[in-house]
């Protein structure tokens, strides 16, 4: 568990902006980190895995607004675009391997997503993964809560 109070000790000892990090996964945890640390802001690491929109969601909720991340086709588009971008950046061989962790993070949050993950996780052909992913996302259900 992150020690946000220890960050507060650092904050009171320096005259530069201090950012709190650790165990921040949503607006309530971000708010609590800010409260306990007195930090100037928060940084989110693992809490954004499989849900990169959570950064905008947390910022909106801390500002008293509502933000809903992508759902349905919009979510499928985010996942597919991320996969295609990884393949384009790393090339098909390394890209397929690098994309596996990202796909797992996305798919573990979807109802039926782990079955799709199991179907594609060992595939080495980027185009086969893309085809299976495109088809499989049509059959996945809504986002489900996963343990942090």
pLDDT tens for residues 69-83? Answer: 998 899 999 999 999
**Residues 87-138: tens digit of each pLDDT:** 999 999 999 999 999 999 999 999 999 999 999 999 999 999 999 999 999 8
CATH number at residue 117: 1.10.1200
Q: How confident is the model at residue 65 (pLDDT cuts 50, 70, 90)?
A: very high
DSSP single-letter state for residue 41: E
Domain extent at residue 16: 4-62
Number of domains within the chain: 2
pLDDT at 141: 75
Q: How confident is the model at residue 146 (pLDDT cuts 50, 70, 90)?
A: low
67 in a domain, yes or no? Answer: no
In angstroms, rounded to a whole number, what is the distance separating the alpha carbons of residues 138 and 93? 26
DSSP single-letter state for residue 45: S
Give burial (CB, 10 Å; 0-12/13-18/19+) of 31: middle
In angstroms, rounded to a whole number, what is the distance separating the alpha carbons of residues 19 and 140? 37
The pLDDT of 53-61, averaged and rounded, is 96
**Quick one: 54 and 22 in the same domain?**
yes
Whether the CB-CB separation of 98 and 121 falls below 8 Å is answered with no
**Quick one: 87 and 112 in the same domain?**
yes
**Quick one: 82 and 37 in the same domain?**
no
């Amino acid at each position: 568990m992150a020690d946000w109070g220890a960050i507060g000790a650092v904050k009171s000892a320096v005259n530069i902006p201090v950012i709190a990090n650790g165990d921040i996964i949503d607006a309530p945890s971000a708010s609590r980190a800010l409260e306990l640390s007195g930090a100037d802001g928060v940084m989110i690491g693992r809490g954004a895995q499989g849900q990169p929109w959570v950064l905008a969601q947390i910022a909106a909720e801390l500002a008293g607004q509502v933000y809903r991340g992508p759902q349905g086709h919009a979510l499928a588009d985010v996942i597919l675009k991320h996969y295609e971008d990884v393949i384009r950046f790393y090339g098909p061989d390394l890209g397929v391997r690098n994309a596996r962790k990202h796909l797992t993070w996305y798919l573990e949050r979807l109802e039926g997503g782990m079955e799709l993950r199991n179907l594609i996780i060992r595939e080495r052909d980027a185009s086969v993964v893309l085809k299976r992913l495109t088809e499989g996302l049509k059959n996945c259900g809504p986002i489900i809560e996963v343990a942090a």
